[in-house]
Structure 1
C-alpha cells in the first residue's frame, strides 16, 4: 500500500506537465461555456455578446426597433389587438436627431436603433347593433353603409401625430376612410398560378413596387381572408415584371403572348369560381409597375375595362388607365431589399445651392426638349443627359438631389418616373413634367402642397417658373415633402400610413367609388 502511494506521488510530482494540463482544462472550460451560451434562445445570446441598453425586437429586414424598457411590455400587450407595426422614421432624415448605433464586433453588421412611437391604440368597438348589422350583411351592403358614413365625416381632431393635415385634400375624410379600411377590408388572394409569374415578388429595381406589394399582401393576416364570400376585393397575384422576363421574346416587339397568357389565366378563374362572373371583374384588382403592364391586358375586355388596375404607368391619354377607378402606383427604386430606406433624407435648405437638377437618358419626347433648352446653359440649372464623370467623381447622383431645391422629374417613354419618389426620399421638391400623368394617391394627397407641375410646352420657361416661387412658399413645400416621406416608404413589416397601406387605401377607395348610394 505504501509503495502504491509513493508511486502515485512520484507520477503527480514528476511525470505530469502541470502547465499543459492547466492549459487544456482552461480551453475545455471556455469551450463548454461558449457552447452553452450559443445554445441559449434568442434574444439571450444577444444580451450576452452585445448587451443593448434596452430590449431589442426580433431582427427583420428593417433596422432593429429600439423600445424603452418601460414601453416594451405595454407594446407587447397592445400588439394583440392592433394592426402590424408602428411608424419608424427614416434614419438619416433631417427631420430627426441622429440615432444611436451599437458597435458590434469587427466583421459583423452594425445594428441601427430607431426610437419609435408605440403602436396606435386599438380601434374603438362599434355599438353591438352595428356590429351585428355589418357582420350579417353582404359585402356591398357593408360598403354602402361605410361610404355614407365617410361622406358625412365630421372635422377630424388633431389627435394623430402621424398625419400632417396640409398635405391632404381632406384629412377628415381620409381618417374616417382609413379607419374603416383597418376595421373592415377583406381581400381574397387567388392561390392559382405558378412561379415565377405568380406568387414570386421581384423586390429590387425600378419596378419593385409590384413585388413589395405582393410580398406584404401575401404575408398579411389583418386584411387577407380565406373566405372569398366575405371579400370586398380579389387580388390577381401576378408580377408584370416576371411575366415580361418569362414570356417576352427579346427584340420581337410582340406583347401578344403575354396578353394571351393573362387572358387564359382570368378565363380559368372565371370558369372555376363564381366571383369574376358575378361582377365581371369589377371587384378584382391587379398591381403592375412594369411599363408594359397596361398593354398586357388587351386580350381580355373585362380585364382591361372593369378590373381595378394599380399601375405605375398611370397615363390617362391612352384610355387604359381610368382616373377615379384605377390606382396610380408609386414607382419606387429599391437597390437593396434588406435596406429599403438606405440614403433616405437630405440636406437642410441652407445646404441646397443648386436650383434644379436632372440627370437621365434621352427617353421619350420630353427629355430631349429639356436637355435642348437647359443642358449646360445655366449654372443654376444642373441638367445632364447622364451625369458626366468629371461631375460624378465629386458629387454623386443622390448627393445632387440632396443638394438641390427642385428635382426635375420629366416623363420618359412612359409618364411615370422613379425620380418623383427619389425626390421625396431626398427631401427635394419634385417638379413633374408629364401632361397626362395621374400622381399616386392623388385622391387623398394635395400634390400642389409639396410639388410643382410644369406643362411640357413650358419647358423653355422652366427657370422662370421656379425662381418666381417665393421663398416662403418653397419652404412650406420642402417641409411638406419631409412630412410626406413616410407615406412612400416600404417597410419589411408594414406600419400605419406607409406606402403599402396607402396603396391598399387607394384600392379601397376605388372599390367604394363603385358603390351606388340611393
Structure 2
C-alpha cells in the first residue's frame, strides 16, 4: 500500500525531520481544496448540460451565455401544449377586459318580429361608429388574469394524446374500405360514402367535447328552439344533454364548445335604432378573454380547437373584435358567405338554417307528394330584402302560370292552398338569398320533398364536404335568373324523379330529434366540425 506522505517527501527532497509534519499538513490542505474545486466544477458542468437539454435558452443566446435558473414552482400538469400545438408567440396580456354581465344587468330589448318567413332586420354596419353601450346593457370591467408560468416544451403525455388520436383517425379515414352497401346510407347523396362512413365511425369512437360552464344566462346556455334561428338552439340543447361525446375533464377533449347564442345576443344586447352590433362584439371579445385567462386550453392553440354554433345573420360579424376567435375558431354559422373574408371553407362549417314552428314537434307535417302529383313547376313567396329577390320578382311575378313567384302569398290564394301545400305540390322550390346568403327555404324544401333551387353566389352549402348537392338540388347563378324557367325545363323527367327521390332519402340527415338519432342533423353538424378539425392535421 502506498504511503502518500512519504511519497510527497521524496518528491520534494525532504527527509522527515522536525519541520516535515507542518509542511505535510499544508500540502494536504492544498490538495483537499483543489479536489473540492474540481468536484464542484464537474457537477456544475453536468447540471448545466442537463438543464440545457431540458430547458433551451432563448434563440438569441448561446449555451455559454445560458444561466442556470432555479426550477419554477410546479404548475398544473396539463398546462403544457400537446404534441403539434404551440403556445402563442407572445405572453398573455397583463390585463384582459372581460364582461361582468349577469342576467340582472342585461336589459332586454325587443327581439325582431318573427313572421312567417325571413323576418330579418336590415343589415347593420358591423363596426358601428363609435358606439358606447348604454349603462343598462353590458358593463365592461378590467380583470387581471392570474400569472402564468412559462410553458415547458411539448412532451408526449395526456395532452398530446388527443392530437395523436386525431392523427390516427385521419390515417384510418384515408384508408377507408369501399362500402358496397349500407342500409342506413344512400350512396348517391354523398361525394364518397366510404369516406363518410369511416369518418363517422371514427368520430363515434374517438371524439370528446368539453363545454365551458362559463357565461351568463340568457346569453349562454339558453337555447331557443323555435323560429328561423332554431338550429343554434337545438344544437346547444342536444349537445349539453349529450353523454356520448361530452366529457367533464377538459384534458380529454379534442374540441371545446363555446355555448353562447347569437340570437340571445341580438335580443338582449342590441340597442334598438343604433344600427351597430358593437355591443355583441364586445361581449364575445370579453367572454373569450375571460375563458383564456381562466383556463389553459384556448391558449394552447389560440382557439383552433374551439367552435361556436350560431345561426343569426350577424354571427360572423360579431367575432371581429377578437382576432383569434375570428381567424382560428371553427365557426358553425348559417351565414356561410366566402366572399366576405370571415367564413373559411374547409375550416368553418355551414349550418343548415331550420325554421322550427313547433318546438314540441319539430318533425310535424313533413313529407310531400310524389313527382307525378306535383302540378306546379316552381314556387316562391317571401319578403323582399337583399339584392336577389327583387330581381326574381321583376322577371317572374305574374308572368307565367308555371312559375308561382310571389312577394307575399295573396290571401285569396292562401285560402285555397297554404304556403306549405304549395311546397308539397311544386316540383322545384326557389330558395333565393335575402340579406345574407342563407335561407331556411332550403331545408323546408327538403322537408316537403321539393327539389331546392338555390340562388346565392358565394354560398357554402351545408355539409358540402360530404354531400353531393348536385344529386338533389339545382344551384343557379344570380345572373341566370332571367333563364330560370329554361334551366328547370332542361331537367328531364327521369332526372327529376331521381333528384326528388334523393331529396326524400336526404331528409333524415336534416331532421331534429328530441333524442339524437344516428346520421340526423345533430350528428351531421358535429361530424362536419370533427371532419374540418381533422383538416388541421397533415399525415
Whether the TM-score (by the shorter chain) exceeds 0.5 is: yes
Q: Does 1:481 align with 2:521?
A: no
Deviation at 1:328, TM superposition (A): 0.2
Give the structure 1 partner of residue 173 of structure 2: 150
**Are the aligned partners of 1:333 and 1:418 in contact in 2 as well (CA < 8 Å)?**
yes
Q: In structure 1, which of residues 427, 440, 443 is the aligned counterpart of residue 449 of structure 2?
A: 427
Distance 2:157 2:509 in 1: 30
**Are the aligned partners of 1:134 and 1:142 in contact in 2 as well (CA < 8 Å)?**
no
TM (norm. structure 1) is 0.73
- 1:48-68 residue CA offsets vs partner (Å, 9 max, x unmatched): xxxxxxxxxxxxxxxxxxxxx
Give the structure 2 partner of residue 406 of structure 1: 428
Distance 2:459 2:177 in 1: 32
Q: In structure 1, which of residues 272, 279, 289 is the aligned counterpart of residue 301 of structure 2?
A: 279
Residues 217 and 152 of structure 1: CA distance in aligned 2, closer, same or farther (over 3 Å): same
Q: Which has the larger radius of gyration?
A: 2
Q: Does 1:465 align with 2:487?
A: yes
Distance 2:310 2:399 in 1: 38
Structure 1 vs Structure 2 CA RMSD: 1.3
Give the structure 1 partner of residue 90 of structure 2: none
Give the structure 1 partner of residue 369 of structure 2: 347
Distance 1:174 1:227 in 2: 28
Q: Does 1:263 align with 2:301?
A: no
User: 1:12-51 maps to which residues of 2 (within 5 A)?
Assistant: none
User: 1:213-228 maps to which residues of 2 (within 5 A)?
Assistant: 213-228=235-250
Distance 2:339 2:536 in 1: 22
Q: Does 1:493 align with 2:515?
A: yes
Residues 496 and 134 of structure 1: CA distance in aligned 2, closer, same or farther (over 3 Å): farther
Deviation at 1:331, TM superposition (A): 0.2
Distance 1:157 1:271 in 2: 50
Deviation at 1:157, TM superposition (A): 3.4
TM (norm. structure 2) is 0.70
**Are the aligned partners of 1:401 and 1:423 in contact in 2 as well (CA < 8 Å)?**
yes
**Are the aligned partners of 2:159 and 2:252 in contact in 1 as well (CA < 8 Å)?**
no
Distance 1:351 1:146 in 2: 46
Give the structure 2 partner of residue 438 of structure 1: 460
Which stretches of structure 1, 4 residues or more, deviate above 2 A after TM superposition?
Answer: 133-137
- 1:10-31 residue CA offsets vs partner (Å, 9 max, x unmatched): xxxxxxxxxxxxxxxxxxxxxx
Deviation at 1:136, TM superposition (A): 9.8
- 1:262-310 residue CA offsets vs partner (Å, 9 max, x unmatched): 1001000001111001000000000000011111111000000000000
**Are the aligned partners of 1:259 and 1:298 in contact in 2 as well (CA < 8 Å)?**
yes
Distance 1:136 1:514 in 2: 17
Q: Which runs of 5+ in 2 are unaligned?
A: 1-155
Give the structure 1 partner of residue 192 of structure 2: 170
Distance 1:495 1:167 in 2: 19
Residues 502 and 388 of structure 1: CA distance in aligned 2, closer, same or farther (over 3 Å): same
Distance 1:343 1:249 in 2: 37
Deviation at 1:134, TM superposition (A): 12
Q: In structure 1, which of residues 285, 288, 296 is the aligned counterpart of residue 318 of structure 2?
A: 296
**Are the aligned partners of 2:366 and 2:447 in contact in 1 as well (CA < 8 Å)?**
yes
Look up the SS of the partner of 2:226 in the other structure. coil
Look up the SS of the partner of 2:223 in the other structure. coil
Distance 2:169 2:280 in 1: 38
The size of the alignment, in residue pairs, is: 384
Residues 267 and 136 of structure 1: CA distance in aligned 2, closer, same or farther (over 3 Å): closer
